[in-house]
Chain A
């Protein structure tokens, strides 16, 4: 089942047939290539939630432009339709066509800012359904013209009005870490985002400052952020778009420690391999660490595995992954998992060493140490509600054995 809209030069639909043939014959590895050469075109592909987005070109072009655009299309579509799957797309052909129509013309991306699109094409959400029943006007296109395209801040609708003015600022961080065979922290880095959810009337002007910007290694901003104040005082000054958006993303490198430790130990001999994994708190972040899981891929040469733990549950999944869900670390004991792996006959010792992937979540703290100092709002009729939250998750947190 495929869905597409062609602009500019016509491309024959058979390219899709070609694509599927290849995709089916080559399996998963094919799905990972972002750029594919077909006999007539170069195809860009992005896969999201089981739906493949394709773009083709015959000439040289910046690859990121196509890939970024496809990602944006995927984001906008799932934003509009509230999640994506084949059925949703089938039910909303019209919306998808309308959106694509506004997003790209003749092969050149036009408007991808969700706020503006929302003004041109109404969302098929419950509110509009209710509204249409009440008013008897079932048109799913709002009657207003795209006003924001004319406004001086293109990312903001001209004049939103809210009874309760609210703004939420979330620090969401992901910790990537690699711990090598000797238990040494090889690499530890945090990728973080400042996500803002703004419901503010009029044209507010916000300034957000941090207590310790010196730790930031590299930053990227939403187009609404003014560059000069950041350059001189490390202050984020901006007129926010309406609704949820990513204000800034940043990277903090060379962190010295991780909140938890995972110590795997493998000893093999005589056709079996003994596995022991210990998990505990290394550096207490002050808040509870929850949703802890440890998983590893069983090597191919393993016939069977028998793993048990003193806390949490251990499952061997169908794809030969051993998943140990710990949840929270109890106060009185250190969780441990142990068991034996039976090797293929003829193998004395295990030669491949699995990598343990660790996941966890810490609410209420940004492990990079970044702290919001204050948020000032100007141009607002009444005092808004300001909310701050922080969250750190494990990203690519891996422990080698």
Chain B
């Protein structure tokens, strides 16, 4: 605890400043310090209690340090505990006075009572005063060899604390080796577990600087060590079991039989009362079987029931965390959960974030056999009191419809929504009907009949309005009064605040014009005039474009604006599969709760600016982030070990040009620069056949180029033509390179245009780019 120093806290009138009380206490403590009268402990205890409670509410009582230490000569264990607590709190701010306490703490470390030995050792290590570390080594050494397990448990943690105060002292005293010895030989499970957690922390932060430490860290994952832990797993406390399971999760078995052995051994852990253990076990199972597809499916089947139980038992906090994991699994393997869809039905008083997750899961598990029931259920939510959820559930119905199951029944439901006369329901349903028609044009007759009855005046939301207008344009030949509705909308052009709606209006009136020219001509003229006068750039440009098209040739304009459309087969997914895989690798971690891979929220550049920063905060952040960096690189290793189609970046031949791997550029600046700069280099490369094959997932190229410090800012296109915009920055200076790269997969050619701030370096950059590209797709 870091009680704020008095100076930082402005004394509020409601809170006693404590000045008077503190000096009172001081004199009382003085009186008691020397006394040996019977019953003195009781009065001391009362005083100490007062001191501690002042400390807790934030009053600075550090001025009592000397007196407290004087009073600490006692055999009463409660007094000792309070004293340790006090000392631990204020030693940091009073390093000089802390020296006073060393003496009595060291004496207590040799007490015959193991409880006192342990407590004293713990307090000694919690002083955190750098210049006192020399006094720690001795007691810690004997603590590790103590014959009482309580003392040993404390000592192991003490070593870790020492490491954080002074890493060199800890390593010099050879503590890691001692820990390793007790980890493998101690009879007490808690000591062993503490050793494991301490060693993991020490070695992973040492690994970056010392060869030996990284070897040791690897050794923790070796077969004998992992098996040693697995065989003892039942002796460990539930928390230690989590730790061991995490270790096992990182272990890569060499044979298939091993995998089954481990799974058999751990199977009963799935029935543990502690959710953390269950989830850790599930992670182990999933990781182990990643490469064995059929067993992996069986694992899903096996873990289903424990997960569902975890969701329904326990506190809302727990069930949300579990639900997030379940959500991840459902998204990966919806068909396995398709018979359990009823578990994802929403309860009335669940918080809406839980409902949202459940709705997504319901959407995912829908298939031929359960669609009807799921949609029936979802339709009940549409009348829900909770409006965001009502909207969300209508969207879910739409998504299920787009998944192609039993569209017939769903269209009916959607059309019922339109008749519900609730504005938000109508709005959501309109958007969905539009998407549905893009995929299933054959339903247009039924939908149009209902949509035609909706008065555009009742629809306020831009998205819904745009959808309605789109349908008016697209199906104007079937909707009797389409031109007149459009006309009235155009009359109210000025009142239309959303540019999106105005854009749609322009396009719709054009389409309508091609189908029913005489009725629409007037409206078109009004729309173009209004559009040309519009202050919004896009609207203005589109109006001008249409105007000139019409001027040029009406039939060409029709081909451009209203070509015959193919039904859309697949709508783009919002989250790339790469990110989903990444999150899956981080199962049983916060990533799942956030639905983002960890680098997106633990890396500094993704985190928001620090609102408060003091010396203390910074120090600990520094210490943590080193530990984390090595962890994340481990995660990448993991990823590669799984044989995912990621090309490991082979060490590039010593580049003449060093690029900044963390370059940032916002799209606006990119566009501006792209317009300003001249093309400094234009080339055509050929792409290796493997590269072409790997381009089926364009994301892979982006990732690959990022490995070479070349970042993508925009990409698009479809087979065979892909277009990418990349950028890169020089390592030392902020000179930027911009690249437009068009890859044609059928001819296996890449056309590159490079623009650079520094023209002279563009040749070198081009070489770098070419070599990076040529490595793409190599195994």
Contact = CB atoms under 8 A, between A and B. Distances in A.
A67 B273 contact: no
B305 A217 contact: yes
B777 interface: no
Interface string B64-91: 0000000000001110011001000000
A387 interface: no
Contacts of A40: 610-613, 617, 621
Contacts of A59: 602, 624, 627-628, 631
A106 B342 contact: no
Contacts of A141: 77-78, 81
Contact of B621 (A58, A62, A93, A150): A58
B363 interface: no
Nearest to A217: B305
* Secondary structure dominating the interface of B: helix
Contacts of A353: 383
Interface string A47-76: 000000000011111111101111100000
Contact of A223 (B53, B148, B246, B273): B273
B609 interface: yes
A39 B608 contact: yes
Contact of A220 (B149, B272, B422, B588): B272
A222 B57 CA distance: 38
Contacts, number: 266
A101 B624 CA distance: 23
Contact of B52 (A62, A94, A120): A94
A13 B351 contact: no
A42 B594 CA distance: 11
A33 B316 CA distance: 9
B239 A357 contact: no
Contact of A139 (B2, B78, B242, B320): B78
Interface string B145-183: 000111001100100110010000000000000000000
A161 B509 CA distance: 90
Nearest to A231: B268
A44 B589 CA distance: 13
Contacts of A18: 611-612
Interface residues of A, number: 96
B599 to A, nearest CB: 10
Nearest to A45: B317
A120 B78 CA distance: 11
B620 interface: yes
Interface stretch (A77-85, A109-117, A338-346, A365-373): A109-117
A118 interface: no
A60 B459 CA distance: 46
Contacts of A250: 309
Interface stretch (B275-283, B392-400, B427-435, B564-572): B275-283
A290 to B, nearest CB: 23
B683 interface: no
B312 interface: yes
Nearest to A59: B628
B99 interface: no
A208 to B, nearest CB: 16
Contacts of A222: 273
B81 A220 contact: no
Contacts of B591: 60
Contacts of B309: 191, 217-220, 249-251
A11 B613 CA distance: 11
Given A191-B313, A249-B309, A299 B345 contact: no
Nearest to A70: B317
Interface in A378-401: 396, 398, 400
Contacts of B161: 8, 106
Given A13-B1, A150-B188, 7 more contacts: A9-B164, A32-B351, A34-B316, A63-B588, A71-B315, A141-B77, A219-B271
17 contacts: A12-B617, A13-B4, A34-B318, A39-B607, A39-B611, A40-B621, A68-B274, A93-B49, A97-B81, A154-B237, A176-B347, A186-B345, A218-B309, A300-B385, A352-B384, A352-B385, A355-B385
Interface of B: 1-4, 42, 45, 49, 52-53, 56-57, 76-78, 81-82, 85, 113-115, 122, 128, 148-150, 153-154, 157, 160-161, 164, 188, 190, 194, 197, 237-239, 242-243, 246, 268, 271-276, 278-280, 305-306, 308-309, 312-318, 320-322, 342, 345, 347-349, 351, 353, 376-377, 380, 383-385, 420-422, 586, 588-594, 598, 601-602, 607-614, 616-617, 620-621, 623-625, 627-628, 631
